Amino acid sequence: DIVMTQTPLSSPVPLGQPASISCRSSQSLVHSDGNTYLSWLQQRPGQPPRLLIYKISNRFSGVPDRFSGSGAGTDFTLKISRVKSEDVGVYYCMQGAQFPQTFGQGTKVEIK
């Protein structure tokens, strides 16, 4: 199985400041169809996960543009340009390039 490793595991950020989360996969996430199936999910406290970003950098419907994704191959980054209080929660990267889908450990974003 592909192992997904996130850093940091915890990120205290002042309101209005940027946040960045890294995700590294143990193998390339480039699928045979040419797409790279790396997604980012947000889980607010007490809520189910919610898709933010798919295929590295595509924002899902309704996701604010302060969220952006980048990367290639095995190294990926989620950035929040200016953290708001509603961004508090745990963020997961997830790969769908190779069966089975696997998730990173999660990064807790909190307000400093």
Partner 1 sequence: EVQLVESGGGLVKPGGSLRLSCAASGFTFTNAWMSWVRQAPGKGLEWVGRIKSKTDGGTIDYAAPVKGRFTISRDDSKNTLYLQMNSLKTEDTAVYYCTTVSVKNWGQGTLVTVSS
- Tell me which residues touch partner 1 (CB under 8 A): 39, 41, 48-51, 54, 60, 90, 92, 94, 96, 99-106
User: Which one, 34 or 48, has the nearer CB to partner 1?
Assistant: 48
Say what the alpha-carbon torsion angle 27, 96, 57, 62 is, to the nearest 10 degrees: -160
Q: DSSP labels for 37-89?
A: -EEEEEE-TTS--EEEEETTTEEPTT--TTEEEEEETTEEEEEESS--GGG-E
User: Which one, 71 or 96, has the nearer CB to partner 1?
Assistant: 96
End-to-end CA gap in the chain: 35
| Smallest distance from partner 1 to CB 92, Å | 6
3-state secondary structure of 98: coil
User: Which one, 18 or 64, has the nearer CB to partner 1?
Assistant: 64
User: Which one, 13 or 90, has the nearer CB to partner 1?
Assistant: 90
| Smallest distance from partner 1 to CB 87, Å | 18
| Smallest distance from partner 1 to CB 100, Å | 5
